[in-house]
A and B are shown apart, each in its own frame.
Chain A
Amino acid sequence: MSIFVNASTRLVVQGITGRDGSFHSKQMIAYGTNVVAGVTPGKGGQTFEGKVPVFDTVADAVRQTGANTSVIYVPPMLAAGAIAEAADAGISLIVCITEGVPVIDMTKVMPLVREKGARLIGPNCPGLITPGVAKVGIIPGQICLPGRVGLVSRSGTLTYEVVNQLTRNGIGQSTCVGIGGDPIIGTNFIDVLAAFQADPDTDAIVMMGEIGGTDEQKAAQYVAQHVTKPVVGFIAGQTAPPGRRMGHAGAIVSGSSGTAAEKIAAFKAAGYGIMERPADVVGLIKQRLKK
């Protein structure tokens, strides 16, 4: 009843003893996520919160706990190295929360991730959650509700806004995935759309895009050809001035390309329900699920 994370997720937290890592590890454990290990070089042998063993390396954690998923909360200059370590240790799903990773580092680590057959989500993302089952990352658990709508987004708090609208109106989610706002990310819209299309427990999909690049346009083409489930979409940044990076490293209109108008037109052409504002998600999903 979900994609990417489920009851068999065995999570290792890279950077578990850091400020962000420890805060969110507690939240993930409280939500019921199966956190089997932590990694902080030099702190191997300690335990986190009295129950989670900490290792010096991801390879040790995998060997001793059977971890299959990792979440990364390390500083930006160390993040690509942490991704490489996880891929090298045989982790199949790597979720990098860290914001500010130099893009040149990502170009070097992506070939390794692919070679190892791992899936990377992020960097610069809120992670993902399968409500009621497991959360990997920082999406607040209390705003989610188990259900049958899949959500994929490039942003963090905007995702929460939309999830919250759905939950308050009794519409639950199968899985919510934040893919990240950077120019080079491990998992794009198409990867997630394909997974939702294949998931028997997802009935409809919400896709939250933003200005910059062409991922949304390509995703729309993919939807037109391969996705039979209803899709509703939103694009943030209609009022963004061209040439300026709007917070997210990838959210920039370059010349005449990557504009909100161009992306919304692609959505329309692919038969999406168009959200003019975040609150429209409720009506559109209800209407499309009735059909």
Chain B
Amino acid sequence: MNLHEYQARELLKAAGVPMFDGGVASTPAEAEAIAARLGGTVVVKAQVHAGGRGKAGGVKLAKTPAETREHASRILGMTIKGLVVQKVLVVPAAEIASESYVGLIMDRESQRPLFMVSPAGGIDIEEVAAKTPEKIHRLAVDPRYGLLGHQALGLALKLYQNFDQVKVAAKIMDQLYRVFVANGASLAEINPLATTPEGKVIALDAKISIDDNELDRRPDLAALRDETAEAPSEVEARRANLTFIKLEGNVGCVVNGAGLAMATMDLVKYYGGEPANFLDIGGSSNPEKVVNALKIITADPAVKVILFNIFGGITRTDDVANGIVTATRQFKVEVPIVIRLTGTNEQEAVKILQGVGMKALNDMDEAVKQAVALAKEAK
């Protein structure tokens, strides 16, 4: 789960990372009031989960509170990469002497939190990694001991020569590490970590992603989720304990298991169709989950056909069949349904479906081909 910049700032600030005071506003009037309180020139920044906010016109300088209000009224409600801006962050504009990058990611290879720091900050770190990899310094931290003092100092020395700045930066490394571990982050990044002309080291932007698996034991973090930044169907699916991702095609997919769900989408494409979604109903699926899955998929007007692909292991295929029957009794499904199921309790499932005049296929390729053909006919 990605946090908004203003949420990430709050976590870092609470840990002691030096940052400017600022405020978050949902209305132009609130933005104006924050600017008046801060005084001087401010930056108005759109709070959306999308890169390239600046290029899209979502980041503006304002010299006065009135100008802040103007910018805020333009940015609030603006759409950036399909996301509507609901909030803006208002912070003092800084004069910058230098910009560095400090990031921590959960590294799959070392299986540890990995620091990446670079004196070339303020730009996309992937770009730095591609063009000038020698400017990125890495350090994997052993979580049993945490970030040791000399390690923090070593990282800070890669960024600054002035030892007063080095000391501050080392402390920031430590604070960032603590925030990362305490919140089960998968990414925590300060970009840029800047110096002002007076030599003060200060974090200007912050980005934090939380491991989704962490949220079950951290209601405080789960509460930071911004559901307005997601497709409504995805919010509904999460509430029903389904993993759902909306796509652009017209073949609705209901599958058990993430790998098979991806392979099903791929096979739809292979046979010339376009999947409308990724949907994993998970293991031990009860009929209720199938009903919810069908509700969510049929709410998408683009969907021309629904394809079930169920390989019964823990999932009992008769549960899925019962779910399909229950759903079609509860509400009218206007599009054709193609069902492939095999595995646990397959014969019972086939009988249940036959009882209501529905057919079940046994072969995945056959089912996908049929679904793609039906989607094409419907156009």
Residues of B within 8 A of A157 (CB): 255-257, 259-260, 311, 313, 315
| Bound CA span A159–B314, Å | 13
Q: How many positions in chain B have a CB within 8 Å of any CB in the partner chain?
A: 52
| Bound CA span A107–B315, Å | 31
Residues of A within 8 A of B184 (CB): 102-104
A277 contact from B113, B181, B365, Cβ within 8 A: B365
Residues of B within 8 A of A228 (CB): none
Interface CB pairs A-B, < 8 A, 10? A102-B211, A104-B181, A107-B111, A126-B313, A155-B257, A156-B260, A164-B343, A208-B259, A246-B258, A251-B262
Of the 9-residue stretches A3-11, A49-57, A198-206, A233-241, which lies at the interface with chain B? A233-241
Shortest CB-to-CB span from B261 to chain A, Å, is 6
Question: In the complex, are the beta carbons of B364 and A159 less than 8 A apart?
Answer: no
Shortest CB-to-CB span from A45 to chain B, Å, is 29
Question: In the complex, are the beta carbons of A161 and B263 less than 8 A apart?
Answer: yes
Q: How many positions in chain A have a CB within 8 Å of any CB in the partner chain?
A: 61
Residues of A within 8 A of B262 (CB): 158, 210-211, 236-237, 239-240, 246-247, 251
Question: In the complex, are the beta carbons of B258 and A103 less than 8 A apart?
Answer: no
In the complex, per-residue mask of A221-244: 1 if CB is within 8 Å of any chain B CB, else 0: 000000000000010111111001
A239 contact from B186, B266, B280, Cβ within 8 A: B266
Question: In the complex, are the beta carbons of A246 and B257 less than 8 A apart?
Answer: no
Within 8 A of A (CB), among B73-111: 106, 108-109, 111
In the complex, per-residue mask of B201-218: 1 if CB is within 8 Å of any chain A CB, else 0: 000000000011110110
Within 8 A of A (CB), among B281-307: 283-284
Question: In the complex, are the beta carbons of A247 and B263 less than 8 A apart?
Answer: no
B332 contacts partner chain A, Cβ-Cβ < 8 Å: no
Question: In the complex, are the beta carbons of B108 and A160 less than 8 A apart?
Answer: no
A279 contact from B255, B261, B265, B365, Cβ within 8 A: B365
Residues of B within 8 A of A148 (CB): none
Shortest CB-to-CB span from A26 to chain B, Å, is 13
Shortest CB-to-CB span from B256 to chain A, Å, is 6
Question: In the complex, are the beta carbons of A181 and B258 less than 8 A apart?
Answer: yes
B258 contact from A140, A238, A251, Cβ within 8 A: A251
Question: In the complex, are the beta carbons of B211 and A249 less than 8 A apart?
Answer: yes
Question: In the complex, are the beta carbons of B270 and A276 less than 8 A apart?
Answer: yes
Shortest CB-to-CB span from A227 to chain B, Å, is 20
Question: In the complex, are the beta carbons of B344 and A100 less than 8 A apart?
Answer: no
Highest count of chain B CB atoms <10 Å: which of A102, A215, A276, A279: A102
Question: In the complex, are the beta carbons of B212 and A158 less than 8 A apart?
Answer: no
**Top 10 closest A-B pairs, CB basis?**
A155-B259, A247-B258, A157-B257, A158-B259, A236-B262, A157-B260, A237-B262, A158-B260, A247-B280, A157-B311
| Bound CA span A173–B256, Å | 23
| Bound CA span A249–B259, Å | 11
Highest count of chain B CB atoms <10 Å: which of A20, A140, A159, A247: A247
Residues of A within 8 A of B198 (CB): none
A184 contacts partner chain B, Cβ-Cβ < 8 Å: yes
B142 contacts partner chain A, Cβ-Cβ < 8 Å: yes
Residues of B within 8 A of A155 (CB): 257-260
| Bound CA span A138–B313, Å | 8
In the complex, per-residue mask of B308-349: 1 if CB is within 8 Å of any chain A CB, else 0: 000111110000000000000000000000000011100000
Shortest CB-to-CB span from B290 to chain A, Å, is 15
Q: Knowing that A107-B143, A160-B313, A244-B278 are A-B contacts, what are 6 other residue pairs whose CB atoms are under 8 Å apart, sorted by A's residue number?
A: A77-B217, A155-B259, A160-B311, A240-B265, A246-B258, A247-B261
A110 contacts partner chain B, Cβ-Cβ < 8 Å: yes
| Bound CA span A154–B262, Å | 12
Question: In the complex, are the beta carbons of A102 and B217 less than 8 A apart?
Answer: yes
